[in-house]
Amino acid sequence: MKLKQAFSLAFKSMAQSKMRAFLTMLGIIIGVAAVIVLVSLVGGFSADLSSSFESMGTTTLNVMLMGRGNNTVIEPDEMMELVEENSDLLALCSPVVSVSATVKHGSESISTSVSGGSEDYHQLNNYALSQGRAVSYADLNWRSKVAVIGSYVAAELFDGEEALGGTLKINGDRYTVVGVFEEVDDSTESSSDNVIVIPYTTAQRLGRSARISSYTLAATSADTVDDAVELLENTLFSLTGNEDYYRVSSVSQMLDTVNELTGTLTLVLVGIAGISLLVGGIGIMNIMLVSVTERTKEIGIRKSLGGKRRDIMRQFVIEAAVTSAVGGLIGIVLGVAAAYAAGSLLSMTVVISSGAIAIAFSVSVGIGILFGYSPAAKASRLNPIDALHYE
C-alpha cells in the first residue's frame, strides 16, 4: 500500500465517523490549545517585565547601605570620587533620598513620594525634560528649594496653568518648579509621571535624614556592568569590613533572574498542560483498539489478498497520526484565538511563540504515532483465517 492510499483511507475513516473522530481528538485539541495559551500569556508577561527593566537601563546599578551595627558613613563625595577615579567603568552617580510628603499648590494637593537626587538623577532614570532644567550642581551646594516635576504632578496641581516657574509646597516648605519632565507613561497616579525630584541635600533636610543609604549609578556600557559591580563590592567591603552592610545589584542581573523565573514557570505550566496531551493519546489508543476490533474482517480480507503485515501496521499508525495531527491543527487555531481573548480580557500582552506552536503540534503527532502503534501492531498480527471468521 502506498502512503497516499494510507492517508486517503485515514481521512475517509474520519469522515465516516465524524463524532467519534472529534471525541478522539478532543484531548489533543485541549492539550495543544492549553500549551499555546499558557506559553503566550507567560511570554507576554515576561516581555512586559523585561521592557520595564530595560526602560530603567541595563547599565543601571543600585547600592543599598544597611545601618544595622554599621557605624561607617559613606558620604556622597566618596561615591562621586569613586566614579571619577574609575571613569572607564562608571559614568553617572546619584544619591537617592525618598521622602513621603503632601504636596500643595493653591487649593490642590496630592500625597506622593518626593525623590532627592543629584544632577545625574534624570539621566539615570531616563527622564527627558519638556520644559526648564534639571537639578544642578549649584542646587546641591546651596540646598536650593527647587523641584522638577512629572507630567502627572503638573496636570494635577496646576490644572492647565503654566507649571514652569510656579511654586508648590512640600510638607509646608515652598519650592520653585524649575523643570517639567516629558510624559513617560500615561500621566496616571501609579505611573512614572507621578514624580517630584529635588536636590538630595534639600531632601535630607526635608526628611530629617543625616545619612544616605541608597545610591544609583550607571556603568559605562553593558559590557562593563559586571566589572563595575565587582569594583563597588570591593570598595564597599574595604570601607565597611562586612559584606552584610551593603547590597550591590544591577538591572541586568535582575532581568536575568526574571527571565530565569518566567522560563521555569513556563516549563511547569507546559508540563501541566501536557497532561492533556497524554490523556488525548490514551483516548486515541482506546479508539484505535475499538477500530481494530470493528475492522477485523476487513483486515482478514486484505491479508488474504496479499496484504503484508507492514502495510496493515502502517495504515493504522498513519490513521492515528492523522487523527492527532488534525486535532493539533484545531488546537493551534483555538489556542491562538483563546490567547488573544484572554490577553484582551486580562489586559495582558500576548506573545505567540512559533516555537511553542511547532513543539505542541509535533508532540501531538508524536503522541498519535506512539499510542497508535499498539493497536496497529495488534491489527498486523491478526491471523487472516481467524479474522475472516470474526463476527
Condensed to tens digits (0 to 9), the pLDDT of residues 181-194 reads 999 887 888 888 99
d(CA 80, CA 92): 8
User: Where is pLDDT greater, at 125 or 313?
Assistant: 125
d(CA 31, CA 335): 9
Mean pLDDT (the chain, rounded): 86
Lowest average pLDDT, out of 129-138, 165-174, 315-324, goes to 315-324
Cell of 205: 533636610
Contact indicator for 250, 225 with CB cutoff of 8 Å = yes
Closest by CA position to 109, among listed 159, 151, 148: 159
The letter for the amino acid at 10 is A
User: Residue 124 — very low, low, confident or very high, per pLDDT cuts 50/70/90?
Assistant: very high
For the chain, percent of residues with pLDDT exceeding 70: 90
pLDDT at 316 over 80: no
Q: How far is CA 65 from CA 114, 122, 219, 246, in A?
A: 20, 22, 19, 4
Contact 383, 376 (CB under 8 A): no
CA torsion 171-174-179-181 (nearest 10°) is 20
For residues 62-73, average pLDDT: 73
Smallest CA-to-CA distance from 10 within 391, 380, 360, 295 is with 295
140, 200 contact by CB (below 8 A)? yes
Here the contacts of 238-243 (C-beta below 8 Å, separation 24 or greater) are: 239/72, 239/74, 239/78, 240/65, 240/70, 240/72, 240/74, 241/72, 242/70
Distance CA 246, CA 239 (A): 10
Q: Which three cell numbers stand for residue 15?
A: 469522515
- Across the strands, what pairs with 214? 64
Query: pLDDT tens-digit profile of 164-174?
Result: 999 999 999 99
CA atoms within 13 A on the CB side of 280: 35
- Say if residue 351's pLDDT is above 80: yes
3-state secondary structure 235-281: HHHHHHCCHHHEEEEEHHHHHHHHHHHHHHHHHHHHHHHHHHHHHHH
Kind of pairing between the strands at 196-199 and 146-149 = antiparallel
Residue 149 in contact with residue 203, Cβ under 8 Å? no
Average pLDDT over residues 119-124: 94
Half-sphere exposure for 381 (CA within 13 Å, toward CB)? 6
Q: What is the pTM of this model?
A: 0.68
- What percent of the chain shows pLDDT beyond 90? 41
Q: Could you tell me how many residues make up the chain?
A: 391
What per-residue confidence (pLDDT) applies to 248?
94
Report the pLDDT value the prediction gives residue 171, as an integer from 0 to 100: 93
Sheet strands side by side (includes 214-219): 90-95, 214-219, 60-65, 246-250
Quick check: 371 pLDDT over 70? Answer: yes
Tell me the mean pLDDT in the region 52-67: 80
Of 299 and 246, more confident: 246
